[in-house]
Amino acid sequence: MTDMGAGAAIHVEHVSKTFVTKDGTTEAVADVSFDVPSGSFVSLIGPSGCGKTTVARMIGDLLAPTSGEITIDGESPSVARGHRRIGFVFQRPTLVAWRSVLKNVTLPLDVLGWPRAKKRERAMELLDLVGLADFANHRPDQLSGGMQHRAAIARALSYDPGVLIMDEPFGALDLITRDRMGFELLRIWAEAKKTVIFITHSIEEAVLLSTTVLAMAARPTYVQELVPITLERPRVVEHRQDPRFLQATAKLREMLEQNG
């Protein structure tokens, strides 16, 4: 991945979001501040409805904050998005059914007008990275769920964003596949050197993968605690028995139970 750019630093400062609907207003996010260093892997964890997706959407310029400021390597989210510095992976892989895996990965590059040979070269490089090189010409429905997720990750990396935002990407997978996907994601993250914002409901998954876990309290959301995870890398499944793993998961569980 020699021509891939590095990650980007994210600053979230006093960000709030109030939704106004016909049934009234919802203060979804209240005064959230945190920093994500370039190249780190930060998980957001917190009870359902606490505002994780809203925060991720504001970082990715899919939603504007009501107040506060977000910067990505010093740029506003809309400028960063215009410069293709942000990639998204959602809970469902949302691949285009009638396009091959390769053509799904090149989709964002079509929009950018990349020449055909260059698109193909980039897509094959990424499919190789996610272990799908042999499936380039398959259609999405010929892949397993985990393989579809890997294709979606390759697509999100196609235009080389510094930031990868993943909103519960593995929620629909069985536990064994989920663990495997997590470790594959870490390998991709280490190789491509991206900044990852990862949303999950699994405390164990967050601790096993992250450099820092950000625990959010229920509505209105604020950052309750940043828990640095000091386990060495590469992370391995045996880390689940490590005292530091057990300590971090216990601490996070206690925090979430207080706010559930």
Ligand X SMILES: Nc1ncnc2c1ncn2[C@@H]1O[C@H](COP(=O)(O)OP(=O)(O)OP(=O)(O)O)[C@@H](O)[C@H]1O
Residues forming the site for Mg ion (CB under 5 A): 53
Residue number, nearest CB to Mg ion: 53
Q: How far apart are the first and last CA of the chain?
A: 42
187's contact among ligand X, Mg ion, none, with CB below 5 to 8 A by partner kind, is none
CA distance 240 to 24: 44
Residue 147 or 215 having the CB closest to ligand X: 215
Which amino acid belongs to residue 138?
Answer: H
Residue 157 or 199 having the CB closest to Mg ion: 199
List binders of ligand X among 11-70 (CB under 6 A): 19, 21, 26, 28, 46, 48-54
Residue 53 or 211 having the CB closest to Mg ion: 53
Helix (H) or strand (E) holding 25: strand 24-36
54's contact among ligand X, Mg ion, none, with CB below 5 to 8 A by partner kind, is ligand X
CA distance 193 to 191: 6
**Shortest distance (Å) from residue 72 CB to ligand X:** 19
CA angle, residues 159, 163, 165, in degrees to nearest 5: 105
Q: 183-222 mask for ligand X (x: CB under 6 A)? A: ------------------------------------x---
Residue 50 or 192 having the CB closest to ligand X: 50
SS3 labels along 55-78: HHHHHCCCCCCCEEEEEECCECHH
In the three-class reduction of DSSP (H, G, I as helix; E, B as strand; rest coil), residue 28 is classed as strand
**Beta bridge partner(s), residue 20:** 25
Residue that is written with structure tokens 């992370």 in the block: 235
CA dihedral over 247, 174, 163, 48, signed as positive or negative: negative
Residue 59 or 152 having the CB closest to ligand X: 59
**Beta bridge partner(s), residue 17:** 29
User: Radius of gyration (Cα) for the chain, nearest Å?
Assistant: 18
123's contact among Mg ion, ligand X, none, with CB below 5 to 8 A by partner kind, is none
**Shortest distance (Å) from residue 220 CB to Mg ion:** 15
**Shortest distance (Å) from residue 19 CB to ligand X:** 3
Query: Which stretches of the chain bind ligand X, using CB under 6 A?
Result: 19, 21, 26, 28, 46, 48-54, 219
